[in-house]
Each structure stands twice: as C-alpha cells, then as structure tokens.
Structure 1
Amino acid sequence: MFALSQRPSIRIAYRAPLVLAALALLAACDKPAPSAEEPRPVRAITLAAGGGAERVAFSGDVRPRYESRLGFRVGGKIVERKVDVGATVSEGQVLMRLDPQDLRLAEAQARASLRAAETERDLAQADYRRHQDLRARNFVSQALLDAKQAALRAAQANVDAAQAGLRGQSNQAGYANLVADRMGVVTAVDAEVGQVVAAGTPVVRVARTDEKEVVIGIPEDRVEQLRQASEVQVRLWARPDERIPGKIREVSPVADPATRTYTVKVAIPARAEVRLGMTATVEMAAPGSAPASALRVPLSALVHDRGASAVWVVENGAVQLRRVQLAGQAGNDMLLSGGVQPGQTVVTAGVHLLKPGQKVRILTADVARRSDTEAAAGGAGQ
C-alpha cells in the first residue's frame, strides 16, 4: 500500500526536470541571434615606391638670371619716358630721352673747329707748294722748305684731331637716347621726366626673358648636403601639378645677414608660362639620407609587438600585423627597409585598438601617398 501510494509523486518528480528543460529551450529560441561585428573605421595610406630618399622643399620666387640697370652715358635732363614697368622691349628700342640741346651745340662747335682746321691745312699746303717751286729755282733755302713742310703736317694733325672731336660729339648727341641693348621686360623705372641725372646713373632696369631662375634661402645645416643634390624640381604655386626640372647654378658663400640663410639660385628652362615674380617651391632629394628603396610611413602607424616594431596591413578588408625594420626617421615620418612592400595599405590611425584578423573600414586611403612636399615640410622645418 505504501509503495502504491508513492508512485504518482515519483512520476511527478521525474517529469519536472523535463518540463524545465523544455521551457529553457523555448526561451532560447525566442532570443535574437547575435549580430556580426561591424568593421572598425581606420585611416590608412598606400605605400609608394621611391619615397625613402629624404626630400626637402624651400619656397622662393622666379627671377631673371640677367637684369641690366641701364643709364645714360651722358648727363642731362630727362624730357621723355617711353616705357612703363612690365613693358616688353626689343633690342634697339628707345626707352628714355634727354634734352639734346646742349649736346647739339657741342656737336656744332666741334664741326666748326673741324672747318677751321681744314682751312689752316689748305693754307699750309698751298704755302708748301709755292716754296717747293722756289726751292727748285734755288730762290729759298732747304731749311725754309722743311719748315713749311712741318707746318703742313701740323695743320693736317689739327684736322685729324678736329675730326675725332666731331665724331665724339656726334656720339654724345646720340647718347641722349637710352636704348635697350637686348630683348627683355622692364622691371623697374628709377627716374622720371624732369629729373636731372648724371652720366651712368641707373634709370631703367631691363630683365632678359630667355633665362630664368628660382632664388631660395636654405639653412646653414643643409648647405653642404644640398650642394650635391641628385634631383631638383621646381613647382609653381600657380601650376601645382606641374614639376619643372631645375639645376643648382649658384650657392652663396656667405649667409644673408638678416635671415641667416644661404642664397641658392636654381636655373630652370625658359618657358612661356613661367613669369617673373611667380612664387615657386624647390624640391630636392637630399643625398645620403636614406636608401631610395625605403618606404615612408607616419610615426603614428607603428606599434610595438613583443619588443619589435610592426604595422597593421590591410588585406581583404581585415588587418594583419607585420613586423618591419626601421631605416631612419625623416621629420614626422619613419623609413622602413623591410617587412612591407610598395602598394600595401597600412593603417595610420587607430592602430592600438586592432587585433589580428579584425575587419576594418578605411576612412581615408591616400592611394598616391602624401606628396613629397608635405613630407619634406616637416623635415625642413620651414
């Protein structure tokens, strides 16, 4: 009887765990499935070959290689100015004129002196011929004939001197016109109409347009390094996408007393689009700074992996840690000599929040890499 009365309670005890398990299973079916992890946003760059050699950039302006300060060869009062600043002039073109009155009077005086000398010569010549006839008849002595011959020679010398003086005064009269010695452009006018100038005083500056150069200033710690620059390129502010090959023509032996920099002149080919006064940037590859095969990455891209330097490389939308070898530093960038290859994408921001295999979403991918000018600006400290 006791056994029979306990059998229902035993069945209930065995069924309770089954019911609880069924309820738990139903509750689990009602929970939503965990969502996939979203890609982490990062910033990255694409490594470019040839970025290892350190490049520095300096600002300057385009100037003419030859600029003449023209002045009158005689003194006088300016009565006419025929050109303005910026005017293009050709060889032989009149730029300014002086008052020619005094010069013309001097020329007339020289011409009158020549006529007087010629008259005296003609008289001496006629006198000498008469004495030749008298000497042939033995009416005069040989000494008197010699004196007449000497007087003729002196008179001829006076004529020669008067002719030279007239040619000189004629040239002086021509110097009242200031002409351009060659084709160029007027860069400055230093005198105006009504001003009295002395001989040789510069009044107009004319620059040749066939040869131009960019003038920059470099700090003293870069002088010796950049004397042997392997590559020089010029970039105009007005044409930032075009690079013009240049060549270092002159390095000043002394520093400028105001800026304490050394003036460097970079010759560039003659081009119509390059105008005088344009702002230009000279980019140079500093020799011996780093291997040309080294790759450049921002300092923020490096992480430490068990005592070694590494970077996160993006492959198929996920990141992988790659150990790298450092080749040096260039401004705010690090130079890598191994561990990565050109064309690979390297994370530059958010590197300390990543883990291997994690999916990422690139916010900014500089496919062409930062320009050498930006990199050089940090290294040059301009």
Structure 2
Amino acid sequence: MALLLLALLLLAGCGPVSQEVATPTPTRVTALPLQSSDHYPELRRYTGRVVAPQEGAVGFELAGRIASLHKERGDTFAAGELLATLDTRLLEVEARELAARLGQNRAELTLARQTLTRLTTLRQRQFSSDQEIDEWQGKTRMLEASASQIAAAQEANQVRIEKSRLLAPFSGTVVSREQPLGAVVNAGQPLFALIRTGHWEADIGIPAELAATLSPGQTYPLQAADRTFTARLVNLGIRVDGHTHTRSARFALGEDAAMLAEGQLISLLHQTPSAIDAYVVPLTALTQGIRGGWTLYVATRTPEPTIVSRDVRLLQQDGERAWIEGALQGDERIVMDGLHKLVPGQRVTVQEATP
C-alpha cells in the first residue's frame, strides 16, 4: 500500500506545469499629422571680412632719420600720443642761428632808429641834409623787413621741429611697423599701419538684386566663428564690382563681436523662399541616420500601430522646425519625440497631437 502511494506521488510530480507568458505593453508615443508646404526658406550665405572702422598708414611729412620709436606692433595708443620722432639736431642749430640773426637785426634796427631821430633833430637846425635822412629811413625800413623775414623763418623752423614728432591721428592699435630705428625716410613714407579702436565692421559683397531689398539702419544676422551676431547695415556701395558683380554692404557690429579679428571671414545670413514641395516637421522628430542622413519615424494607421522609419533629406531648419523631402504620404503620422526609445517594427499606442 505504501509503495502504491509513493508511485502515485511521483507520477503527479512529473505532470506538465502551466505557465502564463506576459504580453509587453505597447509604448505610448505622441504623433502629429504630416504637414506639407509648397516652399521652404532657403538660407544663403554671402561672405566678406571683418574690417576696422578706420585704418591707414602714417608717416612723417618731412624727410629725415628716425631718432626714436615709441610704439611697436600690437601696442595700443590714444589720439595725439607720440609714436616716433625724427633727428632734429640740424633744425635746433638752425633755430639758434635764426635767434642770433634776429638779435643782431634788433641791435642794428635800434641804432638806425636812434640815428634817424638825431638826424631829424639836426635837420631842424640845418646841421644835416635831406639825403642823410632819406638814407637812414631806407636802412630802417630794410632792417624792419629783415626782422619780419627772420621771424617767418623762425616760425617755419618751429613748424618743422613739430612735424618731426609723429602723433597718433586717432586712438587705436599698431598693426605693423614698416621702418627700423635709425632709418632715413622720405617725406610721406609709411612708418606705421594703424587701425582705429572701436566696434568692428563687416564689409560683405552681395548681389545687386539682394542689395535693393536691404535698408540702411536695419539689423541683419551675420555669422563668424560659429557664432551669430546682429549687425546694423551702415550703407550700401553705389558701384557694382566688375569682377564679382556684387555691391559692397558695410555692417556695424556690436560689443558681442569684440573677440573677432580684422580680416576674419564673416557671412551675411539671408533667407529667401524657395518654391519646392516639402514637408514641415518639428526638429525633434528627426534623428541622425546612416551616412550623415536623417530619419523620420512614422506610426502606421493599422489596428495595431507600429513604427516605420523613413529616410528623408533635410532642406532647412530654423531651430524649432525642419523642412524635409522624401518618400512620404500626406496622411501619415510622425512621431514627435522620444525617438531614442523606438526601433522600426515596434508596436506603439498613439496619442494624437494638434498641429
């Protein structure tokens, strides 16, 4: 009896075990009906360079030997600050010579006037002749004219000494120094290349037809060094360049562009509507595809919606929306976000979003 009971227990243990398999819950996604468009904003770039508000080469108005240099490349300076001087030793000798000549002239003129006074007194007593008086009157006038000539020569000498000092015409920075200390330079020969301190400007060549749509005083977006700046259009050139067929547009940059450098490339960003059939989707609905392409996830309209991926081409984006083209149908629903949780073929439940 005991053996029979044990056998029945063993047979019961070997029987089949029923298990329940849990079915995974479909992922919930938010989908938006696909919107079509007959155009998209095409972004065009017109490239120019960053320029200083004022720049130029300066040099002495006189020829001479450079006696001192007070600034080097990269140094800053204020308007009126001394940049360099010429050797003025010969001018200083000339100044002393003119001073001596003037002193001699004054002594001779004093003597001539005293003599003329005495002769005039003696003439009243009939002790001098009219000829003597005429001679000393002529000599006095000659000495007075000579005194005026020497005074003019002194003034010219002082002007040359002053022009031997090269002063900064404006506040700015030294771009380069063209001559070494001790060099003999000609009048007007460039010694320093300078740029004026202040906010940078941008000089950009743009097509004549686009220039006609821009308004001086208005602000436009510029881009340099992967940063976007707002710049005010100062003026438009009145001449079309014969080589590039563009007009020069000059923009004033603000303080936020202080880190830029002269000569750096900078571009005007201009959007124009391009007539082409496209679709408008939220930028969050796109994910990076293979080979640098873009992928859009679509939720099917079957009883059990699943995820389907579509390769698309990105035409333009403005930071929130994207304009795309690809093998799409107008009645499809695109998944707006959470794309990192999805894979093609995955079952989902769809929550409709309003456009």
Unmatched runs of 5 consecutive residues or more in structure 1: 1-31, 291-295, 303-312, 321-331, 335-342, 366-382
Q: Secondary structure at the match of 2:98?
A: helix
Correspondence for 1:8: none
Please show how residues 228-307 of structure 1 align to structure 2 within 5 Å: 231-237=219-225, 240=227, 243-251=229-237, 253-255=239-241, 257=243, 259-269=244-254, 273-277=258-262, 279=264, 281-283=266-268, 300-301=278-279
Correspondence for 2:117: 129
Correspondence for 2:176: 188
Correspondence for 1:376: none
Please show how residues 1-382 of structure 1 align to structure 2 within 5 Å: 56-142=44-130, 144-210=132-198, 212-226=200-214, 231-237=219-225, 240=227, 243-251=229-237, 253-255=239-241, 257=243, 259-269=244-254, 273-277=258-262, 279=264, 281-283=266-268, 300-301=278-279, 348=324, 351-352=327-328, 354=329, 356=331, 358=333, 360=335
Q: CA deviation at 1:67?
A: 1.9
Q: Deviations over 1:54-86 (max 9, x none)?
A: 764323332222224211121112233221111
Contact kept? 1:232, 1:282, Cα under 8 Å: no
Correspondence for 2:312: none
Q: Deviations over 1:260-281 (max 9, x none)?
A: 5433222234668255416353
Where is the strand percentage greater, Structure 1 or Structure 2?
2
Structure 1 residues 355 and 319 mapped into 2: Cα distance closer, same or farther (>3 Å)? Answer: farther
Aligned equivalents of 1:44 and 1:119: distance in 2? 108
Correspondence for 1:16: none
Which range moved further: 168-177 or 264-273? 264-273
Q: CA deviation at 1:197?
A: 0.9
Q: CA deviation at 1:346?
A: 7.0
Q: Secondary structure at the match of 1:202?
A: coil
Contact kept? 2:34, 2:332, Cα under 8 Å: no
Aligned residue pairs: how many? Answer: 293
Aligned equivalents of 2:82 and 2:337: distance in 1? 66
Q: Secondary structure at the match of 1:216?
A: strand
Q: CA deviation at 1:186?
A: 1.0
Unmatched runs of 5 consecutive residues or more in structure 2: 1-20, 287-297, 302-314, 341-355
Contact kept? 1:66, 1:211, Cα under 8 Å: no
RMSD: 4.8
Structure 1 residues 137 and 319 mapped into 2: Cα distance closer, same or farther (>3 Å)? Answer: farther
Structure 1 residues 282 and 231 mapped into 2: Cα distance closer, same or farther (>3 Å)? Answer: farther
Contact kept? 1:39, 1:359, Cα under 8 Å: no
Structure 1 residues 53 and 128 mapped into 2: Cα distance closer, same or farther (>3 Å)? Answer: farther
Aligned equivalents of 1:89 and 1:179: distance in 2? 10
Aligned equivalents of 1:92 and 1:100: distance in 2? 20
Q: Deviations over 1:215-273 (max 9, x none)?
A: 122245534344669542334427x15x233123241514164x554332222346682
Q: CA deviation at 1:203?
A: 0.9
AA in 2 matched with 1:255: D
Aligned equivalents of 2:34 and 2:122: distance in 1? 113
AA in 1 matched with 2:142: A
Contact kept? 1:38, 1:359, Cα under 8 Å: no
Aligned equivalents of 1:89 and 1:181: distance in 2? 10
Aligned equivalents of 1:45 and 1:355: distance in 2? 6
Contact kept? 2:40, 2:278, Cα under 8 Å: no
Aligned equivalents of 1:81 and 1:175: distance in 2? 15
Q: Deviations over 1:78-134 (max 9, x none)?
A: 233221111101233221222222222332332233233223322322221221221
Aligned equivalents of 1:104 and 1:185: distance in 2? 32
AA in 2 matched with 1:80: S
TM-score, normalised via structure 1 length = 0.60
AA in 1 matched with 2:324: T
Structure 1 residues 57 and 120 mapped into 2: Cα distance closer, same or farther (>3 Å)? Answer: farther
AA in 2 matched with 1:140: S
